[in-house]
Structure 1
Amino acid sequence: MRISSRRRPLPVAALAAGALVAAGLALATPTASATPAATAAPGATSAAAETAAAHSTAPAAGKAAATPLPTAVYSKISDWGSGFQGQYVITNPMTVPLNTWSLQFALPATESVTSMWGGTETVSGTTHTVAAQSFDTTIAAGASVTIGFDASYSGTYADPSACQLNSDPCDGSADQKPPTAPSALTVLSTTSSAASLSWTGSTDNVTVAGYNVYSGSTIVATSPGTAATVTNLSPSTSYSFTVRAYDEAGNLSAPSAAVSATTLANTGGGHLPGVAAPFVDIGAWPTPDLTQIAETTGLRQFSLGFIVNGTATCSPSWFNAYAMSAGFEQSDIASLRAIGGDVKPSFGGEAGTELAQSCTDVPSLTAAYQSAITAYNLTQIDFDIEGSAVADPASIDRRSQAIAALQQSAAAAGKPLTVTLTLPILPSGLTSDGLYVVQSAVKYGAKIALVNGMAMDFGDIEAPNPSGQMGKYAIDTAQSLYNQLTPLYPALTPAQVWNMIGVTPMIGQNDDSSEVFYQSDMQQLLTFAEQQHLGELAFWDVTRDGNACTGSLSKCTDITQTPYEFSKMIAPYQG
């Protein structure tokens, strides 16, 4: 698969230590079972009662511990008998930005402001209101801004009074104003046991801290953003959900309008759940926002391309630009995990040098892979082996031994590590080189959960007259792969072998000008995947899908489509 031709230099700032997720992050999972819509209690407790409940059950109910609120502190800087200079220092002690602010105070009738800086002033009688300037509305977490003014007075000087910051006392002692109600609550997708929701966010006089998702009066999920996945649901059951926002002081908004979601039937058959995990070219510019994409599409899993060898020998990097220690994308990945999503970084790709070709022995290669696993707290990784790497038996065997060592180490530590392979494939199946990658894994005891075929760029010999047949050819790759894997894994049942197969087409225009993968082709492949319970359904890539444009194939699909049409089509896939 291709990676973006645009490469960015490694910025100095990105080299700062930033292993945000190294210690692990909890997923946004429900705190109680959702109530089916038919029996859900329609009543709701008072905001005060729910706020108390949120405090008493934190963090399960989505309420963080009490957070200091922004303050505005006054001081007189100088006094010259007939006038003075004063200032307010507004400080944001929260861990999130204060996105807007308004300061209000009163002066005695004997005092009059003659000039002000740091904000825009309006006056009504003796009350002065200072708003943030349009070019500087946000106060970052832990930061302060200063509002200064000169004033004249007669008689005796007196301090300002009746100070309010965003309609609350300036000493940060109270915030009684709740956020506005969330709106446009929508069901993005459902499976037999989960429902993914999104909504339009609330506003607040200070800041929105997060959202609680309710089934009836029970909190079933929480989210720091405008999407969440409710799990542990029953198949073929209708549920009613609402969402309420809460702020840093624990004030709850009114509930959103309710939305109904019906889970899918349980497909049964004893197979493991499948997943939609399309590739994201994380080297594209601007850097894709995974959390925003998840909230827009309903996708919760992404395969990230690509980790390759860096500038030094045997040194993993994101597309030869960011070392594992640079913290690249860790904040976004943390946000994605907070709404129930996750990533599967892929080592290799079409460009760059795969680590197994740079690291010349198994211990050093194992350590290189492990450094990425540790830096991003990974439970799943992929190896996209193509180009020269798929025809290099020595590096293939090193990789297989390293994978086995990684899995042994993870097992000893009581941690999961799922490994998948992404390989070039034709309608007739894996090439002999690609097949050897799997054979090597079997030989050295590397446990491969899934083999994902890159169903793209077939050529006229393998895929003659491809117009209108790309969906069929993609299905042919899965059938051929099934036939190749069956003798390699004789202990598996037919259902388990199908569950070990993934298919990744290139959506829209392929590099081969005669091959175009349309929405109808994806629907055909999706239907087949659901029938055979394939382990993974993906495509290259999400950024191209989101752009819905005509132009460079690294950015566009060059077909008529709506943004993220393919992503939304496969997001509900569960095998």
Structure 2
Amino acid sequence: MKIMRRILVAATAVTATVAMAPAANAAVNPVLAAPYLYQWENAQNPVTVMQQSGIKAFTLAFVLSNGKCNPQWDGERSLTGADITRVNQIRAAGGDAIPSIGGWSGNKLGPTCSNATTLAAAYQKVIDAGKFKAIDLDIENTDEYENNTVQDRILGAVKIIKQNNPGVRVVITIGTETGGPAGKGTRLIQQAEALNVPVDTWSVMPFDFSSGGDMVAMTKSAVTGLKNQLKSTFGLSDDAAWRKSGLSSMNGHTDNAGEVVSVANFKSIVSWANSVHLARVSFWAVNRDCNNCAGISQGKYDFTKANAAFTG
């Protein structure tokens, strides 16, 4: 996701402060089918998207460090400002949201916070600001992914969050090879087991593989590889491992020249994900889900409509 997803374009600063978000909608699972939505380019009105696509949840990107162990939206906007207004609007329309903490670029909380306790406190600020019932930790690039000490710090913080908020679900999103997570991704999964960290859902990003190829087959292979790692690492049955696995695709042209996830591809991926009962299906991003916005011919919100058909 080096071009469209991984380069963070600075958003216009928002200084207004609003009331905290209302309680999350208990009827909506924000982890299940929640495409990414960001605010720095081609921002979409989430209520309009919901009305036109049938989607009920969004993954809001990204929460970053403001240079200190302090979380802000895109590293610069208050946790209780315009972004929480957006959460309020989603919930008032019958939906819900999950914040994504991390991403490819920008200042990350993992390396900035000095230990697991202070990092957990930063995550807690995010949870409290939105009364969120789930968080997505997008661990890729930089020291959050590459540095073993920071990986362990993140896992330690997750353990604290789960102890203090047993009802809050934690998703960890990582990159993958066509055969499943490798290298530091595998190490992160194994450390979660070694440190007894109760991660609810592991989600992979099955793209940026090559200059083309069968993206449906490669997605299935990558997610199956994740499932197999979870099965062997945590001693799970196939069914239980599938239900802890998820994916976040990329609509249209990915960051790799020639690699494309078409609408038909994504519909097939969603159908397969339903058949194996994955815990999560998402994609990057709603902002790119319109004709030629992702370099392909499509109808507006075609990918979001397909994502809304995921029922787990």
- Normalising by the residue count of structure 1, what TM-score does the alignment of the two structures yield? 0.51
CA–CA distance in 1 between the matches of 2:25 and 2:71? 27
1:304 to 60, 72, 83: 60
Give the deviation of 1:5 after TM superposition. Answer: 4.2
- The letter of the residue matching 1:418 is R
1:417 to 158, 168, 192: 168
> Structure 1 residue 333 and structure 2 residue 87: aligned?
yes
CA–CA distance in 1 between the matches of 2:160 and 2:75? 25
Matches within 5 A, 1:514-525: 514-525=258-269
CA–CA distance in 2 between the matches of 1:365 and 1:274? 22
CA–CA distance in 2 between the matches of 1:493 and 1:537? 21
CA–CA distance in 2 between the matches of 1:474 and 1:343? 25
Give the deviation of 1:455 after TM superposition. Answer: 0.8
- 1:353 to 1:431, Cα distance in 2 relative to 1, 3 A: farther
Give the deviation of 1:332 after TM superposition. Answer: 2.0
Give the equivalent residue in structure 2 for 1:371.
125
CA–CA distance in 1 between the matches of 2:89 and 2:198? 30
Give the equivalent residue in structure 1 for 2:186.
435
- 1:284 to 1:363, Cα distance in 2 relative to 1, 3 A: same
Q: Could you say what secondary structure the match of 2:176 adopts?
A: strand
CA–CA distance in 1 between the matches of 2:54 and 2:73? 26
Structure 2 unaligned regions, length at least 5: none
- The letter of the residue matching 2:36 is F
Give the equivalent residue in structure 1 for 2:224.
479
CA–CA distance in 1 between the matches of 2:283 and 2:10? 22
- 1:338 to 1:3, Cα distance in 2 relative to 1, 3 A: farther
Give the equivalent residue in structure 2 for 1:58.
none
- 1:9 to 1:336, Cα distance in 2 relative to 1, 3 A: closer
Q: Are 1:274 and 1:533, in contact at CA under 8 Å, matched by a contact in 2?
A: no
Q: Are 2:101 and 2:136, in contact at CA under 8 Å, matched by a contact in 1?
A: yes
> Structure 1 residue 7 and structure 2 residue 10: aligned?
yes
Give the equivalent residue in structure 2 for 1:493.
237
CA–CA distance in 1 between the matches of 2:100 and 2:271? 26
Which one has a bigger Cα radius of gyration? Answer: 1
After the TM superposition, list the runs of 4 or more consecutive aligned residues in structure 1 that deviate by more than 6 angstroms: none
Q: Are 1:25 and 1:334, in contact at CA under 8 Å, matched by a contact in 2?
A: no
- The letter of the residue matching 2:57 is Q
- The letter of the residue matching 2:296 is I
Give the deviation of 1:459 after TM superposition. Answer: 2.5
2:291 to 538, 548, 552: 548
- 1:536 to 1:489, Cα distance in 2 relative to 1, 3 A: same
Q: Deviations over 1:80-115 (max 9, x none)?
A: xxxxxxxxxxxxxxxxxxxxxxxxxxxxxxxxxxxx
Give the deviation of 1:273 after TM superposition. Answer: 11
Q: Deviations over 1:179-220 (max 9, x none)?
A: xxxxxxxxxxxxxxxxxxxxxxxxxxxxxxxxxxxxxxxxxx
Give the deviation of 1:305 after TM superposition. Answer: 1.3
- 1:437 to 1:346, Cα distance in 2 relative to 1, 3 A: same
Q: Are 2:270 and 2:309, in contact at CA under 8 Å, matched by a contact in 1?
A: no
Q: Could you say what secondary structure the match of 1:382 adopts?
A: strand
Give the deviation of 1:286 after TM superposition. Answer: 5.0
Give the equivalent residue in structure 1 for 2:19.
19
Give the equivalent residue in structure 2 for 1:120.
none
Higher share in strand: 1
Give the equivalent residue in structure 2 for 1:399.
154
- RMSD, aligned CA: 2.1
Give the deviation of 1:357 after TM superposition. Answer: 0.6
Q: Are 1:26 and 1:338, in contact at CA under 8 Å, matched by a contact in 2?
A: no
- Normalising by the residue count of structure 2, what TM-score does the alignment of the two structures yield? 0.92
- 1:495 to 1:305, Cα distance in 2 relative to 1, 3 A: same
- 1:27 to 1:345, Cα distance in 2 relative to 1, 3 A: closer
> Structure 1 residue 451 and structure 2 residue 205: aligned?
no
CA–CA distance in 2 between the matches of 1:26 and 1:404? 22
Q: Are 2:61 and 2:100, in contact at CA under 8 Å, matched by a contact in 1?
A: yes
CA–CA distance in 2 between the matches of 1:5 and 1:449? 27
> Structure 1 residue 347 and structure 2 residue 107: aligned?
no
Q: Could you say what secondary structure the match of 1:456 adopts?
A: coil
Q: How many residues align?
A: 308
CA–CA distance in 2 between the matches of 1:513 and 1:380? 34
Q: Could you say what secondary structure the match of 1:329 adopts?
A: helix
- The letter of the residue matching 1:8 is A
Structure 1 unaligned regions, length at least 5: 30-228, 230-271, 461-465, 550-555
Higher relative contact order (CA 8 A, sep 6+): 2
1:276 to 33, 55, 67: 33
CA–CA distance in 1 between the matches of 2:219 and 2:45? 29
Higher share in helix: 2
Give the deviation of 1:419 after TM superposition. Answer: 0.2
Give the deviation of 1:285 after TM superposition. Answer: 3.3
Q: Are 1:4 and 1:284, in contact at CA under 8 Å, matched by a contact in 2?
A: no
Q: Are 1:28 and 1:340, in contact at CA under 8 Å, matched by a contact in 2?
A: no
Identical positions, percent: 27
